[in-house]
């Protein structure tokens, strides 16, 4: 005897949409670094080393709490020089030290270098190796994704239903290259500061830097509008 089974009614799967949202945050520099050349010349070895040590000590004193002067590994050279009818040996002690500072202290560091009579070069910047994904960045990307999903649903005369899934992508770190004329502003201000005793600061949005980018993908059920259901 054969028993015929009733077919099982399969409910159609509710259609879904998958939409992504991206948020970008400029990565702030961890610190700035200025390389400072120091040179001391004298007719004797002892005097040259003494002048060099005085210059280093003065720099450390002027920088003070506003930055950190790196370790010094000076080198010495000698050369024969002539001054009128007299000739002799001149000793030169040189080194390039790094002065590290946080961005708000930039003006104080420039003042210290100027007061020491040392040359100033444009700073370079250091960044955290790990990209920082903040709650604000995640929130921003999520809002963009949901706004995109709502716009698509409205465009096809539907509404969003249940959130099916949400996926957070791996953050990426992208270098931001700025036009050269935007980067030259710092050196222009440095030159101006030599004749004007003003405190300077660095504006983060004008620095060559990195962007942290995060992408969030959401999937929603997409339903008919309530008015359509009532009409049916």
CATH class assigned to 30-126:
alpha beta
Q: Exposed, middle or buried, 23 (CB in 10 Å: 0-12/13-18/19+)?
A: buried
Rounded CA-CA distance 34/32 in Å is 7
- CA 124 to mean position of chain CA atoms: 11
Cα torsion angle, 180, 206, 37, 128, sign: negative
Kindly calculate the radius of gyration of the chain based on its CA atoms and give it in whole angstroms. 32
Rounded CA-CA distance 125/116 in Å is 23
Q: Is the pLDDT of residue 22 over 60?
A: yes
pTM of the model: 0.62
Residue with tokens 């259609």: 15
Architecture of domain 1-29+130-232: 2-Layer Sandwich (3.30)
**114-132 residue pLDDT tens:** 999 999 888 888 887 777 7
Of 172, 156, 177, nearest to 223 (Cα)? Answer: 156
pLDDT given at position 116? 95
**Residue 179: both structure tokens together:** 């036009």
* Contacts with 68 (C-beta within 8 Å, 6 or more apart), sequence order: 99, 100, 101
Domain ranges in the chain? 1-29+130-232, 30-126
pLDDT band at 105 (very low <50, low <70, confident <90, very high): very high
Which is more confident, 84 or 181? Answer: 84
**206-219 residue pLDDT tens:** 666 788 899 999 99
CB 141 within 8 A of CB 215: yes
Of 98, 117, 119, nearest to 54 (Cα)? Answer: 117
Q: Write b or e for each residue in 53-76: b if 16 or more Cβ atoms lie within 10 A of its Cβ, otherwise e.
A: eebbebbbebbeebbebeebebee
**Is-same-fold flag (1-29+130-232; 30-126)?**
no
């Amino acid at each position: 005897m054969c028993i015929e089974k009733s077919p099982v009614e399969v409910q159609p799967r509710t259609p879904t949409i998958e939409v992504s949202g991206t948020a970008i945050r400029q990565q702030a520099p961890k610190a700035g670094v200025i390389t400072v050349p120091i040179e001391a010349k004298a007719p004797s070895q002892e005097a040259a080393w003494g002048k060099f040590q005085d210059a280093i000590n003065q720099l450390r004193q002027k920088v003070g709490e506003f930055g950190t002067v790196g370790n010094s590994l000076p080198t010495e050279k000698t050369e024969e020089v002539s001054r009128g009818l007299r000739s002799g040996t001149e000793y030169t002690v040189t080194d390039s030290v790094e002065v590290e500072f946080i961005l708000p202290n930039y003006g104080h560091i420039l003042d210290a270098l100027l007061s020491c009579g040392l040359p100033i070069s444009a700073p370079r910047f250091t960044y955290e190796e790990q990209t920082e994904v903040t709650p604000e960045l995640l929130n921003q990307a999520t809002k963009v994704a949901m706004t995109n999903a709502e716009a698509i649903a409205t465009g096809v005369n539907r509404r969003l239903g249940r959130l099916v899934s949400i996926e957070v992508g791996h953050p990426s770190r992208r270098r931001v290259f700025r036009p050269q004329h935007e980067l030259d502003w710092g050196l222009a201000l440095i030159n101006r500061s030599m004749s004007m005793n003003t405190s300077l600061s660095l504006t983060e949005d004008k620095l060559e830097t990195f962007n942290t980018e995060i992408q969030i993908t959401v999937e929603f059920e997409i339903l008919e509008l309530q008015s359509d259901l009532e009409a049916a």
